[in-house]
Amino acid sequence: MILNLDFNSDKSIYTQICDEIVKAIAKGNLKIDESLPSVRSMAETIGVNLHTVNKSYNALKEEGFLNIDRRKGAVVATLPMKEGNETLEKSKLDLELLIARCYLSGMSKEDFLDLSSKLFDSYEVKYHE
């Protein structure tokens, strides 16, 4: 379980941990029902406070990506998640802003769709393999 963290980032560490785990799940590096490292070992591995990892796991549980099991610890929840969830709605709003920034930065619609398609495939393929 290798997480790519930047302690100098503006993003909080616990948010970075969440994001890395979400990407790991999407890429298939973490399978459904697979257990994540314990809060304690994860914290030691990446060199952060125990509470920080704990906060990440709980946040992902709230989002529906993880289940917290007393015996197995944090496990990847069954996916795909149900329709109409908050994450998806929030993501759509984020997308509106993201596209505005890309557009103003001079990115063409074609480039954006190509990149999106490529990124989607990188998840699609691995997840179903």
Q: What residues make contact with its own copies under the rule CB under 8 A?
A: 7-8, 12-13, 19, 22-23, 25-27, 48, 62, 65, 67-71, 79-83, 85, 87-88, 91-92, 94-107, 109, 112-113, 115-117, 119-121, 123-124, 127
Residue 103's binding partner among its own copies, DNA, none (Cβ under 5 to 8 angstroms by kind) is its own copies
Q: How many CA atoms lie within 13 A of 112 on its CB side?
A: 14
Q: How far is the CB of 109 from its own copies (least distance, A)?
A: 4
HSE toward the beta carbon, residue 72, CA cutoff 13 A: 12
Choose which of 4, 45, 49, 87 interacts with DNA (CB under 7 A).
49
Among 4, 12, 87, 117, binds DNA (CB under 7 A): 12
CB 65, min distance to DNA, A: 15
39 binds, among its own copies, DNA, none (CB under 5 to 8 A by kind): DNA
Burial of 2 (0-12, 13-18, 19+ CB in 10 A): exposed
Whose Cβ is closer to its own copies: residue 27's or residue 40's?
27
> What whole-number distance in Å separates Cα of residue 44 and Cα of residue 70?
21
User: What whole-number distance in Å separates Cα of residue 4 and Cα of residue 29?
Assistant: 14
Q: Are 124 and 116 in contact (CB under 8 A)?
A: no
